[in-house]
Amino acid sequence: MTISRRVFVKSGGLALFSLGLDPLFLARAAYAADYPAIQRSDHPTLVCLFQRGAVDGLNMIVPHGDGLYYRERPRIAIPAKDVVDLNGYFGLHPSLAALKPLWDNKSLAAVHAIGSPDSTRSHFDAQDYMESGTPGVKATADGWLNRYCQHDREHQNTPFRAVAFGPQLPRVLAGSAPSLAIDDLQAFGLRAPQEAVRDRLTRAFEALYEGSATGLLASSSQEGFEAMQMLKQVNPGQYQPANGADYPRGRLGRSLLQIAQLIKAKLGVQIAFADVSGWDTHVNQGASEGQLAARLKELGDGLAAFARDLGEQMRDVVVLTMSEFGRTIRENGNSGTDHGHATAMLVLGGTVNGGQVLGKWPGLDPDKRFEGRDVAVTTDFRDLFGEILARHLGAGDLAPVFPGYTPDPTKFLGAIRG
């Protein structure tokens, strides 16, 4: 079987669908009526950034209008004069200043006091729950983004439908639906000095894996060979960002640049995912400057460059940041913060109801805190994720995506324009 034919066969998601192999087909038709009619862009794309290590939501989206914030954080609070004010009460960390124009043009929203109903303060459990989409249930084998791909087959099924940037496929994309892990777009594929040698190696390895591999080895290698074939036409080495967009150096900037490149190449990217690490600020996290400020600067500048680079095409894109939990309201003994509960997330893009801090704010009063010390969770992360899947990507049925919890449209925050 040749590569091109296989791509054709695999991209026949619609064919599978119309053959009725998807048992959810009928269920979806029934559910569709429950969701408000929305105007969907032609090729909606969701970009997820996972801030691993638990970002300090209070220093990212700063409640500078609350005196308690300053009393609890004498060494690490962001001075009011430095905060980029958003609505008189909340403001951006000064390192995120590059995002202010996106707030002003209503394509950026923040969600505060969001998190998991599970109370764990373990990074690994909390990340696991946020990626499996099943807080408190460890046995869930696949990730919620993968389950979305499994159950929403109307999208053109190219190998690039779901792409993670990094050497490993994240838990959120693990599962039976094909997804691609790309560490570096330019280096993706088999290396050989001459094209003839490259083609020969490709054919040989493809034949080896096609016949001798089973399970994950078989499916992953097949996806890899298909993606290689499609990437041949894109020529990743030649990419120039548009509109003078200047991505920050480092891993995040490179990932965002390559995501923009894939979106523009029209390879059918629907979901892109990248990790941003370095948020576990137990010691000397800094205030307006310092450790956390440097990480936020990279994040803010990266997102701003991404939006600038995509320009008009941002109308089809939503970027969502997420993190496993927030950090303690009170600073710890080392001018840092320990593991907390709720955090803040950013939603950016053309279909976003921007210019607002969404979610019910519980405040910092000691009696409103979770276990007496952390920001309480008022928005279950699945309500935000579900809203974006339904209203931005057009997911028909969220029940299989979040088993045991069906996000209720009446609880949607309104992050995406209806």
Partner 1 sequence: MVGIILVGLVVSFQSVGPSLRRSDGSLSPRDSAFHVLNRLAYGPRPGEADSVVRFGVMRWVDQQLDPRRIHNPVLAERERQFRLLDMSRDDLARVYLEAQRARQERLRIDSVARANPEVADKTPEALRAQRMAGEFQELAVVRAALSERQLEEVMVDFWTNHFNIFFGKGADRFLAPSYIERTIRPNALGKFEDLLIATAESPAMLFYLDNAESVAPGSVPPAAARLQARTQFGIPPRRRLFLDPERMMRADSLRQRALQRLPKGLNENYARELMELHTLGVDAGYTQQDVINVARIFTGWSLERPEQGAGFVFNEWAHDYGEKIVLGATFPEGHGRDEGLRLLKLLAREHATMHHVSRQLCARFVADDPPDGCVDDAVAAWHRSGGDIREVLRAIFHGPDFWAPPNVDAKLKTPLEFVVSAVRAIAADPDTSPRLAQVVARLGEPLYQHVAPDGYPEREEDWVNSGALLARMNAAVALASGKLPGVTINLDTIAPASADPDRLVAAIDDKIFAGHLSPHTKQVIRDQLADVRDPEQARILAVGLALGGPEFQKQ
∠ CA 403-404-410, rounded to 5°: 95
Q: Hey, which residues between 103 and 122 contact partner 1 (CB under 8 A)? A: 120-122
State the nearest-atom distance from the C-beta of 52 to partner 1, in Å: 7
State the nearest-atom distance from the C-beta of 92 to partner 1, in Å: 25
Q: Are 415 and 351 in contact (CB under 8 A)?
A: no
Which of 168, 176, 235, 243 is the binder for partner 1 (CB under 8 A)? 168
Residue 164 three-state SS: strand
State the nearest-atom distance from the C-beta of 213 to partner 1, in Å: 4
Which residue in the block uniquely carries the two structure tokens 């619609």?
Answer: 14
State the nearest-atom distance from the C-beta of 190 to partner 1, in Å: 6
Which of 91, 94, 135, 189 is the binder for partner 1 (CB under 8 A)? 189
∠ CA 346-351-354, rounded to 5°: 50
Nearest to 233 by CA among 254, 255, 264: 264
State the nearest-atom distance from the C-beta of 303 to partner 1, in Å: 22
State the nearest-atom distance from the C-beta of 315 to partner 1, in Å: 30
List the structure tokens of 248. 């920050």
State the nearest-atom distance from the C-beta of 248 to partner 1, in Å: 13
Q: Which is nearer to partner 1, 32 or 208 (CB)?
A: 208
Binding mask 52-71 for partner 1 (x = CB under 8 A): xx------------------
Which of 283, 311, 411, 414 is the binder for partner 1 (CB under 8 A)? 283
Percentage helix, strand, coil for the chain under 3-state DSSP, each rounded to 5: 40, 15, 45
CA dihedral 140, 146, 150, 153 (to 10 degrees): 160
Q: Which helix (H) or strand (E) is 60 found in, with range?
A: helix 57-60
Backbone angles phi, psi at 322, to 5 degrees: -145, 160
Q: Hey, which residues between 332 and 371 contact partner 1 (CB under 8 A)? A: 332-336, 338-339, 371
Which strands, in side-by-side order, build the sheet including 84-85? 61-62, 91-92, 84-85
Exposure b/e, 280-292, CB count within 10 A at least 16 = b: bbeeebbbbeebb
State the nearest-atom distance from the C-beta of 244 to partner 1, in Å: 19
Nearest to 412 by CA among 102, 389, 402: 389
Piece of 36-44, 102-110, 187-195, 238-246 that binds partner 1 (CB under 8 A): 187-195
Please report the beta strands in 299-356, taking only residues with DSSP state E, as ranges in sequence order: 317-322, 343-349
Is 288 a binding residue for partner 1 by CB under 8 A? The answer is no
Is 297 a binding residue for partner 1 by CB under 8 A? The answer is no
Q: What number of chain residues touch partner 1 (CB under 8 A)? A: 60
**Residues within the interface to partner 1 (CB under 8 A):** 52-53, 75, 120-125, 159, 164, 167-169, 174, 179-183, 187-192, 200-201, 204-205, 207-209, 211-214, 216-218, 220-221, 223-224, 227-228, 277-278, 280, 282-284, 332-336, 338-339, 371
